[in-house]
Structure 1
Amino acid sequence: MGLPLDGMIVLEFSQYLSGPCAGLRLADLGARVIKIEHPEKGEAGRKLAIKNLWVDNSSLLFHTINRNKESFAADLNKEEDMQWVKQLIAKAHVVTHNFRPGVMERRGLDYEAVRRINPSIVYAQISGYGEKGPWKNKPGQDLLVQSLSGLAYTTGSFHDAPTPLGLGIGDYLCGNQAVQFIIAALVKARKTGRGTWLQLSLMESLIDFQFEFFTTYFQSRKVPERARLNNANALLSAPYGIYRTANGYLAIAMMPVQTLNKALQCAALNAYAEEEAFSKRDEIKSVIAGHLLTQTSEYWLERTGALDLWVMPVLDWEQMRATGGYQVLDMEQEIVLKNNRRFTTTRCPVRINNTLLKSDRPAPAIGEHNDSIKRSLA
């Protein structure tokens, strides 16, 4: 199957998560993604272990986010290596990096320098907090950006401490936004022959992620407050939230309280009018929470399912993997390493022409493709 970005060359000067996440998706779409790495240390993400899991002297995280790529080892302080890198730039379609502001400028690889080599280049740079201002040189690590952006006050309930999302959400969002705009810029380059300079930051991505909260705040001048219990979204009224049952948990999405009560048959809920669903949110949630404890999840799912209400069980990963709904999605793939060892990871979540995008090609060793890349430049 011909993939949309077949023939595109991406030079990835990126490290850790945001930039490599963008490169992963571009590779899934068919681009040839070449990591430019230090000859001895490689990309810094090679040493970023998750749960202390390692594969072939690199972290499992590195292998997960850098599958299906090539590696070109180059010391950017050496003129000979820089000449090879500049030859690659002349052939490339995209350059990405997520270094702190000023790093690529000191290397002579900022956008203006790269554009002089290749006028049609798409140059995407990701920072933590933007290129200017007092935060520009702060470490752009996901937890730190979540904390500065206010996101930690959207998860958990009112009396909970600030609670971060348990994912590198800023990295993933920013990386995927980079992909969207890289593809748009590639269309422009194809039509006009002119390149594009893209500037993204984790901070801007997380602010954009919270657009509902910020828009509400701008109009009301009141910071949204998390519900005092069972909070799932500070902007939504009861019953929205996750509730405990006699043997598990249920997620209840937005719906009129009395519509839900047709399934619950809770006498105490009859006292609340629909227009009170937000003003008396905590009271209503408390009533629902107490009532749901009286029966099992299966009991409540049968009753709410009969009315086609927006209620689902809360599953852990083992429970989810056992469901037919998960299995039919076929989200898993195996990566085959050089020594025929294998590990399982997730696939690209998009189908193209009803075809799954899977690849068993592992992340590269440092400089693994130097010889073949140099031969292609000769």
Structure 2
Amino acid sequence: MNTHDTTKLPLAGVRVIDFTQVMMGPVCTQMLADHGADVIKIERKGAGDLSRSTFAPVAGHDNPIFCSLNRNKRSVEIDLRDAAQMDLVKALIADADVVVSNFRAGVMERLGLSYEECRQLNPRIVYAIGTGFGETGPYAHKGGQDVLAQAMTGVMARRADDDIPVSIYPTALADYTAGMHLVQGILFALLQRERTGEGQKIAVSLYNSMLAMQMQEAAMIMMADSEVNWAAMPLSGVFQTTTGPLVLVGAFKPNPLRDICAALDLPDLSQEARFSNLEQQFAHKAELHGILRSRFASDTRDHWLVRLEAQDLLSAPVRDMREALVDPQTLHNEMILEGAAADGRALRFVASPIRMSGAATGIHREPPRLGEHTQEVLAQARALLAGAAA
């Protein structure tokens, strides 16, 4: 399957040797592949990427969890303990632009593929490594995982109200964020290489990415000895109506409470001393939210959204994923990629969120079967070895 001309994509001609699996790394390399890079996915012989078997009794190429992160790549099945096969991998690295891995710290070194070893093979290589906590330090030995990064950086402890139990955020927030940071680092390094002719090492961790995502909250603690919780603001919240929940963000206006009251046909509560300013609204938040909840519960969501928008208040329906996937805005934004696999299976994925006027992305390779491209890629590697020996 090759339905798009990739030669006009921004990363056309960039070759990536991809040692990643699960999510943090694959979401990075899929973004590169979507935008034209030739991504060669190195997979363990007989098993492949762990995500091939997530929620599936047998590892396969048609697992949606795997497919969602691995379109537009080639798969090469390698026995990482076989010296001859590793020589072929090294030949690929010598001819590549980027190496990406997200193993636990030290694994690439044990494979003989440290940054220094790869740089000796190819001084122009951009070597990107993603870890859980960093390559060194007190937690470097720990297995990295999205939920652990949420827990150890304060993300999991952040919630709208103290009486809400601490819980796991149900989407892989750290994996996606760190994966995008890996993409950024790789692109920065490729751009710098154009000026210097030299590659470099890029390091990203789930831990650092989660800390960086909370830069405003962290600055408030470190510089003002104060804490800010955007989800706990007194004029914001999720409110139940007769037909489902909506979210309201009462901000960016001179007197948002006055406008909220106008939308809800309530007296102007901002004129009462207990709600007259932000400090008082925080102090009496439970009482204020009780008034708002009672009013929202009296009519439909659509009714209240129309009235809130008439006051130019930030508001939206709370939708689940099934609803979001068929939302008119989702379809208008062309956020659903559709295609057909070689065996006739329907392929449907969430698209890259990036829109470029001069480069349209899409599905130009279906998610690969384990080792689907082993022969063609290793033939190229043998040719490279032969050329180097000549």
TM-score normalized by structure 1? Answer: 0.91
C-alpha deviation, 1:220, in angstroms: 3.8
| CA displacement 1:71-123 (0-9 Å, x = unmatched) | 12222221111110111011100000011111111111010100000001000
- Matched with 2:231 is 233
Alignment partner for residue 48 of structure 1, among 54, 58, 68? 54
Gaps of 5+ in 1: 227-231
- State the structure with bigger RCO (CA 8 A, min sep 6), 1 or 2: 2
Identical positions, percent: 32
The residue correspondences of 1:1-378 to structure 2 (distance < 5 A) are 2-49=8-55, 52=56, 56=60, 59-224=63-228, 233-234=231-232, 237-255=233-251, 256-267=256-267, 269-270=269-270, 271=272, 272-275=275-278, 276-353=280-357, 356-359=360-363, 361-377=365-381, 378=383
Secondary structure of 1:6's aligned partner: coil
Distance 1:321 1:16 in 2: 23
CA contact (8 A) 1:37 1:71 kept: yes
C-alpha deviation, 1:292, in angstroms: 1.4
Shift of the 160–54 alpha-carbon distance from structure 1 to 2, 3 Å rule, reads: farther
C-alpha deviation, 1:293, in angstroms: 1.4
C-alpha deviation, 1:308, in angstroms: 2.2
| CA displacement 1:277-317 (0-9 Å, x = unmatched) | 33433332232122211222122122222222212222223
C-alpha deviation, 1:156, in angstroms: 4.6
Moved more, 15-24 or 33-42: 33-42
| CA displacement 1:344-377 (0-9 Å, x = unmatched) | 2111112221664211522212222122123333
CA contact (8 A) 1:22 1:175 kept: yes
- Matched with 2:387 is none
Moved more, 119-128 or 276-285: 276-285
- Matched with 1:229 is none
What CA RMSD, in Å, does the superposition of the two structures yield over aligned residues?
A: 2.1
Shift of the 269–53 alpha-carbon distance from structure 1 to 2, 3 Å rule, reads: farther
Gaps of 5+ in 2: 384-390
C-alpha deviation, 1:318, in angstroms: 3.7
| CA displacement 1:23-75 (0-9 Å, x = unmatched) | 000001100000111222222222223xx487846632111101110012222
C-alpha deviation, 1:223, in angstroms: 4.9
* AA of the residue aligned to 1:239: L
C-alpha deviation, 1:222, in angstroms: 4.5
Shift of the 280–355 alpha-carbon distance from structure 1 to 2, 3 Å rule, reads: farther
CA contact (8 A) 1:11 1:95 kept: yes
CA contact (8 A) 2:71 2:367 kept: yes
Shift of the 322–77 alpha-carbon distance from structure 1 to 2, 3 Å rule, reads: closer
| CA displacement 1:253-279 (0-9 Å, x = unmatched) | 133211221212323724221343334
Shift of the 18–239 alpha-carbon distance from structure 1 to 2, 3 Å rule, reads: same
Shift of the 140–248 alpha-carbon distance from structure 1 to 2, 3 Å rule, reads: same
Distance 2:263 2:186 in 1: 48
| CA displacement 1:187-208 (0-9 Å, x = unmatched) | 1112211111011100100111
TM-score normalized by structure 2? Answer: 0.88
* AA of the residue aligned to 1:263: A
Distance 1:240 1:53 in 2: 44
